[in-house]
Amino acid sequence: MKTKSIYIHIPFCETICSYCDFCKVLYQSKWVDQYLEALDKEIKARYQQEIIDTIYIGGGTPSSLTLEQLAKLFEITNQFHKSKQLEFTIECNIEHITEEKLRLFKKAGINRISYGVQTFHTKYLKYLNRHHTKDEVLAKIELTKHYIPNINVDLMYAFQKETVEEVKEDIELFLQLDIPHISTYSLIIEPHTVLGIKEQYIDDTLDATMYEIICHTLKQHGFLHYEVSNFCKPEYQSKHNLTYWNNEHYYGFGMGASGYINHVRYTNTRSINHYLSLDYDYQKEELTQQVEMENELILGLRKLQGVSTTNFYQKYQKQVEEVFDIASLVKKGLLEVQEGYIRIPENKIYLSNEVLIHFIGDV
């Protein structure tokens, strides 16, 4: 399997969001400069000169870097051999966006931007330790469209004490942004975060109701629900994220980044000191074919389209029904088989984890 995608992690943040469990450190200019040097060395040591279809710069907060530091980052990405159909995404915070940064992004080949908007409600932005305002979001999204119209925004819901009406208000405002991609996330309370100290999840029934409202409303407005948490206008699927859901190989460069190359999943060190010392590797796992086939379904069934039985056979030289008891899950109504695809029925996609657990471990 050829490696056609690259993830680059920029761990720096000006502030730490209360819910975030990603690999991150507070921004320090001297660390950024050293980090970019280490990143360049890692890429030069590992990149095997493949033609790349997708690049995704995530974080952390990549947009917290200065113009000069971003220019250095893009000098590093210039060493990749890029396909003519390249999708090149960068994650940004609304408050960091300036016309100068947008010009630099476009010049560097960025053609997709992902904004962590999360919500328009001031009280929940404060709860998440986010620092933009509604007016700022509206203005910066319009500015972005002049340079890079392929925009994703993240919508978060299921906050403590949030009501269904507040979720509906958020959806309507997100739709007013008139952008082609929306990712939706029910709040996950991670143990090593500020929220993890004291918060609890909302009622499951209320969470499910909010999810159903989001799905229904976005589909009514022309969005394709193509993955459990992702919605897009036609032809605007995230090509990079499809790499993950299709269980394809990809590089992970940077502190805390994960990759999947030659049947090995790896995760780089989460220590800034180790990374700056060029001690990149933290964990590696060589996958058996059985585990790779399990991952094929666990990841692929997140897509509303499901898993192609033809592609499964081409990759593993086995029929999926030989490996997994698909028939019994179909009989229970947990799966359906249509037009060469195995999928979770749309009315059960919210409960997808209850289906996917059947493909973990021994079958």
Give the per-residue SS3 of 171-191: HHHHHHCCCCEEEEEECCCCC
The whole-number pLDDT of residue 22 equals 52
CA atoms within 13 A on the CB side of 206: 15
Residues forming a β-bridge with 87: 54
Q: How far apart are CA 80 and CA 43, in angstroms?
A: 9
Give the model confidence (pLDDT) of 160-189 as tens digits: 889 999 999 999 999 999 999 999 998 754
pLDDT at position 18 over 70: no
Three-class DSSP category at 227: strand
The whole-number pLDDT of residue 159 equals 87
More confident: 2 or 80? 80
The whole-number pLDDT of residue 363 equals 39
The whole-number pLDDT of residue 14 equals 64
Name all domains of the chain by residue range, CATH numbers in brackets: 5-244 (3.20.20.70), 307-363 (no CATH)
In terms of phi and psi (left: phi > 0; alpha: psi -120 to 50; beta: otherwise), the region of 340 is left
**Alpha-carbon separation of residue 89 from 59, 95, 240, 351 (angstroms):** 12, 18, 8, 30
In terms of phi and psi (left: phi > 0; alpha: psi -120 to 50; beta: otherwise), the region of 118 is left
Q: Six-digit token pair at 58?
A: 């995530």
Computed over every residue of the chain, the mean pLDDT equals 91
| Cα-to-chain-centroid distance, residue 129 | 20
Three-class DSSP category at 68: helix
DSSP 346: G
Q: How far apart are CA 294 and CA 117, in angstroms?
A: 34
What are the strands, taking DSSP E only, across 197-298?
224-227, 230-232, 251-253, 258-261, 264-268, 281-286
| Cα-to-chain-centroid distance, residue 122 | 25
Task: Enumerate helices (H) and strands (E) in the chain, giving the number of each.
Answer: 15, 17
What are the strands, taking DSSP E only, across the chain?
5-10, 12-13, 25-26, 51-59, 81-92, 112-118, 151-157, 181-186, 224-227, 230-232, 251-253, 258-261, 264-268, 281-286, 307-308, 336-338, 341-343
Give the model confidence (pLDDT) of 181-234 as tens digits: 999 998 754 445 444 445 566 688 999 999 999 999 999 999 999 999 999 999
The whole-number pLDDT of residue 164 equals 96
pLDDT band at residue 154 under the 50/70/90 scheme: very high
Q: How far apart are CA 324 and CA 329, in angstroms?
A: 10
Give the model confidence (pLDDT) of 88-103 as tens digits: 999 999 999 999 999 9
DSSP 254: S
pLDDT band at residue 280 under the 50/70/90 scheme: confident
Arithmetic mean of pLDDT, 118-143: 90
**Alpha-carbon separation of residue 264 from 98, 252, 290, 345 (angstroms):** 40, 12, 13, 31
Q: How far apart are CA 133 and CA 122, in angstroms?
A: 7
Q: How far apart are CA 289 and CA 285, in angstroms?
A: 13
Q: Six-digit token pair at 171?
A: 């959806």
The whole-number pLDDT of residue 354 equals 86
pLDDT at position 29 over 90: no
Give the model confidence (pLDDT) of 34-62 as tens digits: 999 999 999 999 999 999 999 999 988 99
Q: How far apart are CA 142 and CA 99, in angstroms?
A: 11
Q: What are phi and psi of 283, to 5 degrees?
A: -150, 140
